[in-house]
Structure 1
Amino acid sequence: MSVDKLRQQFRGQLYKYTNVVKGWQYRWFILDPERGILDYFVTDPQQQPNRKQRPRGSVHLASAVICPSDEDSSTFTLNSASGEIFKLQAIDARERQEWVNRLRAVAEMHTLAIAQVSNPPLPPREHHSLGAPPQAPLVHCSLAVLDALRSARDNLQKAEQKNQELACFIDDLPPSGSIHHLDPELLMLKATSQATILCLSQCLTILQQQQIAPQGVPQPRTKKTPIHFIPPQPTDLMDKKSTSSAHSTSNSEPDNISTNKNPEKIQRDDELTDEEVEEDQNAILTDEHSTLLKLASHTKRGTDLTRVTLPTFLMEPKSLLEQLSNFFSCTSLFINIGNSKDAKGRMLAIVKWYLTSFNAGLKMRPGKKPLTPLVGETFVCSWKVLEGTKTHTIHFVAEQVQNQPPVSAFHVECPSKQLKLDGFASFKCIFTGMSVDITVSGGIRLNLDSFGEQYDLGYPTVHARSIISKPCIQLGGKVNIQSSTNEFSAVLNYPKSFFGEKPNQVIAEIKDATHNVIYKIVGDWTTSLKVVNLNEQNNSASPLEVLGLKTLPKRVRPIDKQGQYESRKLWGPVIKSLQEGDINKATNHRLLLVEQQGFQSQNYLPMYFKQTAGDQPMWCFQNCD
């Protein structure tokens, strides 16, 4: 490769392993041979030419060591002179070799250039003491500056040689005669020459020292903690002036989100029936297929995807908090829990509602995932259910109460039926090759106040199968439904479906106090189930059509009347950009919100939920109406 080509800027995408989230992150790298610096960004800076984007990190390549890894044919490491280590991964072996060759060439050029300019050129490679930051190379500048300094050093060395020759010539003159070595004019010439060389040497030293912290090398950003988190608006996302004025306004207000211990009253006035349009569940964008293949090929088995930043185009234009509300959209079965007069009927009603809730709750576009909620984010909605001549209202409240690990808490209540449900969920997504296993930790606690009963429910494991070809969602594992105030219990089994077997099968058994099965429910939880009464002699069965169940639309306040932390208002610019297909704009809005995540999560106290003590803690709703 020619020297001219090596001095040209080189850019591309690589995976970078980070210990912050313990996983591989997709980053955009730019190699600047002139400065000898490798910068990396979250996105390509050329996609936002009007926005001055700072690099997420930088490393100087002088005296750096670049080593291909033995793990596979695409991974390599970069060990800088400061002791910083980058673990990178290319798409394939050919691209890795291209990066390795260019990085080594730039490192060699700058190492030689610095060695010719300064002595010693770089700090020694040694272990740093605890608490002491790693030392940076003494010279950080472009090749053009290094060439100029090297040329000045060469000319100075030639001048020093001529000065020594002049001094030797004067000293070798005879002690007497017309011209002798003590001639005042010759001594003045010798002293002037020596002083000039010393002055030039000091000037060159000053120039070299000015390159220790050049303007071309980005300095680490100090973390600023704003007093109040202001979500970006679509019209002023890039307007620095409006952003600064918003922060100055917030400085005069107390930080309610981090210090308020008293829950605010939930505003439910002016709730309107949602006009949300359901998207085609079978739609798969072919343009994204190649990117999905690339992501899968660069993701190792066992990777925790909850710690990996996924591309924005894989996001569903809906927050996870709002997605949780869909599990209660089969409202008729939920309020029917309070209609049964006997304990056996109430347990059967709970199992029916639970089995059918997942079909409505897991409806989303294939290969998509909801937006990860930010700490302090809330979502509020309700449903109006007509039962005969009576109208019942079901209220739903959800809040992101924790960040590490992420925990979403939710509360559902039907006052007229005296039904109260508290729950929380934390998700861990493990990549297993061509599928994703989603383990849900947490629980659900259902209280029937009119009967003085309390029920505890768990979660099944969610499997996102065939995420590359034709994505589908399956359930697995076992769920127990127990009650300390009801003699009946239930066990729900979601068996694994192997090739050729029917998917989405479930077997639920309701048992009495003597552990005898009195009800058995079998079938497909996405289409239809069959309820078998084993107490009767003929084991009569009744159908439960899941697809035929009516789901009511949510009632949500208009966005202009929502609080600034409610999901639809908080993620409004991202949702709008995703719906319009502007992925770059959605990415910019999303990154800006995620950057604020660290600020808001500090010393955060949940607004509507409080964690109970005990061996099995539960996030319970604080009544503030």
Structure 2
Amino acid sequence: MNELVKSLPSPTLPGIHMPCADTYKGWLFKWTNYLKGYQRRWFVLSNGLLSYYRTQAEMAHTCRGTIPLATAHIEVGDTCHFVLTSGGRNYHLKATSEGECQRWVSALQQAKANATLMMQHSDDSGDEGPGPQEDRPINQGVLKTLATKLDDLSTCNELIGKHGAALQRSLSELEDLRGTADSTDRVKTVNERATLFRITSNAMINACQDFVDVAESHNRRWQKALQYEREQRHHLEETIEQLAKQHNSLERAWRENPASYSGETRLFSTLKGNSVERSKHGDDSDENEEAEFFDAMEDSPAFITVADTSVTNHRRTRRCHIPDKPNYSLNLWSIMKNCIGKDLSRIPMPVNFNEPLSMLQRLTEDLEYSELLDRAARCDSSLEQMCLVAAFSVSSYSTTVHRTAKPFNPLLGETYELDRLEEFGYRSICEQVSHHPPAAALHVSSQRGWSLWQHITIDSKFRGKYISVMPLGNIHLHFHASGNHYVWSKVTSTVHNIIVGKLWIDQSGDIEIVNTTSKDTCRLKFSPYSYFSREVPRKVTGVVEDREGTGHYILTGTWDDKMECSKVVDSSEGCGGSEGKQKTVYQTLQPKLLWKKYPLPNNAENMYYFSSLALTLNEPEEDVAPTDSRLRPDQRLMEAGLWDEANTHKQRLEERQRLERKKREAQANQALDDALCPDWLRDVPCLLYSQDVEGYHPLWFEKRTDETTGEITYTYRGGYWEAKERQDWSQCPEIF
């Protein structure tokens, strides 16, 4: 036993000093449901994880749940009561005494601090690009950690072999001694060795899990580093090729007329060469001031200037925090009681209900897990590609689990751009194309083999106890290499406990994803939450089928955490289906992880529960259009915590928008009068132009009939990025 204890893997990481062991165990009462109330459970705190069991004996075989403390929020309640919040779930716990409660809270807070320290040591969720020099010590530390974990696995493997062989010998001896006087002692020996073998096996399992966790935690950073090196190699190959062509052209030109090249060295460059650009932006280096620039020769290819990699390869560091949300009290019911059954987009609301982001930015936030589409673009199988597309469609809801505040309703003509070419290879433009009903159009173009676009109209209703938000419209996704074109829509979002209680969000409904090219389909079901259901909360299930309706993959998971897929190896018709239909029973292989939610940033509960991407969406940017959401004053002031000033500007902007709308309606009425319409048509404009058609045309999108679905939709007409390059925003309306 001593040999085993000495060889067990250490929970600490290299370079991390753990103040004390964070192991604690004991009985607590856990809230289960309204029928059973609080139930007694055995809790074990170890290695930053709080696990619970029905009895102590269950520790050997059945764990009822595990709470990672690194991302958990600990809140102390009334006497003997405290609450843990993790992964969108609240765990209400009670101790038998105030002293015991305090001991548990202290142990949990210490374990959370240690776990957070370990997470920071191996954190790879930053947006910064991996620099080869600065990452070298980090990667060496990771490799050292993995090597240590591998040694732990080897040690545990040897012990398992040793104790397993001893257990086998004891079993053989026990078989020979059956019925003899020595059998009791032999049975005791066998039990001891079986216990030792079980402990060693558990240590092996834990060591394997540690190894997998460390490897997975750094997988994203390594993927970024690999992609970075690939891009650098590709850029270098292109540069060398162009330099070779330039060298040949110069040699040929010199052979044809050597006299014109004697006596001085001239620097050739195109008018838009890198050196010209640097001097235009104010580079005062002597080299640029003394250089002469000539146009490239007509019969030679364009000359290039090799860019300084220290400048070109620098990636911008994005912000990782915003000012904490002020603690303003507001009687929600006093405002909402007169809104029952109405469309919330037509009701003026103070910024107290908002988060400092526009609906256009929330729509763009769906791209947080764009790497799923990058992986899908590399798939050879359309069915495997469908699994990743389905995971992407689910991942867009993971950021909403704590986001009970509403985004700002965009002004008509408001835009939002997100340029992430350097970091993730895509850029997107979004525009508010209609005000009543509110509608936005989005177009995303990726250098990694895909394009995505959508036209979404929001319909929201207040039902007294809850608010329902129904997105209408389709999302389109096209992969350039395969030509596969996917179409799907969104499910209904519901905000509960409007009158009393804590606000919480649920997603429910069905999504059908159709590959219009191959006719493959995926039907996803978002199960509504129920207090009386034994199913996992926020559950999502789905089946990927080919054009004949044959199932190939089963998808399972939750919209707030992860999605997995299992390959179907056999299927049969069962019974028990609804409405007399037969149920299909699938046999599958072990599930594989498709998508896992990123942990929220530190202090997220005070920053509107924004994800790492959401924290950067409203970060000021240079050279954006004057209609960009980042420039909206009320939203800007709210983010800074100046809510009273934000409300003043919000009322001003909304009143100005109403006046502009009346002006367009008056112009439309005048147009009908000029056309000598009969009197009975004079009231028609109110109907005709109630859909924001009153003389307004979006700047970057236009209305078309989609060839795939036949729907009337807004699609990108082009020109935005070209206008940004020229800094020509003369066509943009003045809306702020």
TM-score, normalised via structure 2 length? 0.43
Please give the per-residue CA displacement for 1:420-440, whole angstroms capped at 9, x wherever unaligned.
Answer: 111011111111222111111
**1:300-311 map, 5 Å:** 300=340, 302-311=341-350
TM-score (norm 1): 0.51
CA distances 1:174-218 after superposition (whole Å, capped 9, x unpaired):
xxxxxxxxxxxxxxxxxxxxxxxxxxxxxxxxxxxxxxxxxxxxx
Structure 2 counterparts to residues 185-334 of structure 1, below 5 A = 272-275=316-319, 277=321, 285=327, 287-288=329-330, 291-300=331-340, 302-334=341-373
C-alpha distance 385-470 of structure 1, shift in aligned 2 (>3 A)? farther
Q: Which residue type is aligned with residue 438 of structure 1? A: V
Range moving further from structure 2, 549-558 or 303-312? 549-558
Residues 376-415 of structure 1: pairs in structure 2 closer than 5 A: 376-384=413-421, 392-415=424-447
Query: 1:478 and 2:510 equivalent?
Result: yes
Q: Deviations over 1:361-419 (max 9, x none)?
A: x36643x1111001111100122576xxxxx511111000111211111011102x231
Contact 2:401 2:505 in 1 (8 A): no
Provide the rounded CA distance (Å) in 1 between the counterparts of 2:537 and 2:450: 33
Matches within 5 A, 1:89-104: none
| In structure 2, distance between residues paired with 1:541 and 1:346 | 16
Cα distance in 1 for partners of 2:635, 2:464 equals 29
For structure 2, the residue ranges without an aligned partner over 5 or more in a row are 1-313, 571-586, 601-610, 665-694, 723-736
Q: Percent identity?
A: 20
Q: 1:558-589 CA distances to partner (integer Å, 9 max, x unpaired)? A: 445332211111x1x31243234433311110
1:374 to 2:411 alignment: yes
Does residue 503 (structure 1) correspond to residue 534 (structure 2)? The answer is: no
The C-alpha deviation readout for 1:131-173, integer Å capped at 9, x for no partner, is xxxxxxxxxxxxxxxxxxxxxxxxxxxxxxxxxxxxxxxxxxx
Aligned residue identity for 1:564: P
Measured at CA, do residues 332 and 559 of structure 1 come closer, stay the same or move farther in structure 2, by a change above 3 Å?
Answer: closer
| Distance across 1 between alignment mates of 2:562 and 2:451 | 27
1:419 aligns with 2:514: no
For the residues of structure 2 that align with 1:531 and 1:376, how far apart are their CA atoms?
41
Corresponding residue of 1:340: 379
Provide closer, same or farther for how the CA distance between residues 420 and 560 of structure 1 changes in structure 2, counting only shifts above 3 A.
closer
**CA pair 363-277 structure 1, distance change in 2 beyond 3 A:** farther
1: distance between equivalents of 2:458 and 2:527?
A: 21
Aligned to 2:625: 563
Return the offset for 1:599.
5.0
Preserved contact between residue 315 and residue 422 of structure 2 (Cα < 8 Å): no
Equivalents in 2 of 1:332, 1:509: separation in Å? 22
The residue number in structure 2 matching 1:605 is 697
Equivalent of 1:488, from 517, 520, 524?
Answer: 520
Aligned partners of 2:361, 2:458: CA distance in 1, in Å?
15
Does the 8 Å contact 2:512/2:524 carry over to 1? yes
After TM superposition, the structure 1 = structure 2 runs for residues 103-114 of structure 1, keeping only pairs within 5 Å, are none
Runs of 4+ in 1 over 6 A off after TM superposition: 549-552
1:542 maps to which of 592, 598, 602: 592
Distance in 2 between the 1:454 and 1:562 partners? 31
Q: Secondary structure at the match of 1:535?
A: strand
1:460 aligns with 2:491: yes
Match of 1:7 in 2: none
3-state SS of paired residue (2:474): strand
What is the alpha-carbon distance in structure 2 between the residues aligned to residue 487 and residue 284 of structure 1? 51
1:556 is displaced (CA, Å) by: 7.9
DSSP 3-state at the match of 1:564: coil
Q: Which amino acid aligns with 2:412?
A: V
Q: 1:354 corresponds to which residue?
A: 393
**1:578 counterpart = 2:622:** no
Q: Within the alignment, does 1:514 sit opposite 2:548 as a pair?
A: yes
User: d(CA) in 1 for partners of 2:387 and 2:317?
Assistant: 31
Q: Distance in 2 between matches of 1:589 and 1:540?
A: 56
How many angstroms does 1:517 deviate by? Answer: 1.9
Q: Which residue of 2 aligns with 1:593?
A: 653
| Paired AA for residue 622 in structure 1 | R
Higher relative contact order (CA 8 A, sep 6+): 1
Q: Provide the C-alpha distance between the structure 2 equivalents of 1:522 and 1:549, rounded to a whole number of angstroms.
A: 20
Task: Select 1:524's aligned residue among 540, 555, 558.
Answer: 558
Shift, 1:445, TM fit: 1.1
Query: How does 1:137-152 map onto structure 2 within 5 Å?
Result: none
Contact between 1:271 and 1:558, CA under 8 Å: does it hold in 2? no
The 3-state SS of whatever aligns with 2:637 is helix
Matches of 1:530 and 1:400 in 2, distance apart? 35
Letter in 2 for 1:583: W
Give the conservation status (yes or no) of the 8 Å contact 2:701–2:717: yes
Structure 2 CA distance for partners of 1:476 and 1:555, relative to 1, 3 Å: closer
- Counterpart-to-counterpart distance in 1, 2:620 and 2:414: 17
Matched-pair contact (CA < 8 Å) for 2:421–2:427? no
Letter matched to residue 417 of structure 2: V
Residue 540 of structure 1, CA deviation: 2.0
Measure the CA separation in 2 of the matches of 1:579 and 1:556: 9
Task: State the alpha-carbon separation in 1 of the partners of residues 410 and 481 from structure 2.
Answer: 34
Partner of 1:432: 463
Unmatched tracts of structure 1, length 5 or more: 1-269, 387-391
Would you say the 8 A contact 1:398–1:409 is kept in 2?
A: yes
Q: Work out the CA distance in 1 between the residues paired with 2:377 and 2:422.
A: 14
Q: Distance in 1 between matches of 2:623 and 2:463?
A: 43
SS in 1 for 2:397: helix
How far apart in 1 are the matches of 2:546 and 2:403?
A: 40
CA distance in 1, matches of 2:636, 2:430: 22
Map residues 20-39 of structure 1 onto 2, 5 A cutoff. none
2:44 matched residue in structure 1: none
CA pair 568-276 structure 1, distance change in 2 beyond 3 A: farther
Distance 1:608 1:527 in 2: 35
Displacement of 1:338 in angstroms is: 0.5
Q: CA separation in 2, counterparts of 1:273 and 1:336?
A: 25
Residue number in structure 1 paired with 2:292: none
**SS of the residue aligned with 1:623?**
coil
Contact 2:459-2:471 at 8 Å conserved across structures: yes
Residue 556 to residue 319, structure 1, CA distance change in 2 (3 Å): closer
Conserved? CA contact 1:322–1:379, under 8 Å: yes
Change in Cα spacing, 1:585 to 1:613, as seen in structure 2 (3 Å) is: same
Report how far residue 538 of structure 1 moved. 4.8
Q: Secondary structure at the match of 1:594?
A: helix
Displacement after TM superposition at 1:449 (Å): 2.0
How has the CA–CA distance of structure 1 residues 403 and 525 changed in structure 2, closer, same or farther, with 3 Å as cutoff? same
Q: Is 526-535 or 478-487 further displaced after alignment?
A: 526-535
1:543 Cα deviation from its structure 2 partner: 3.1
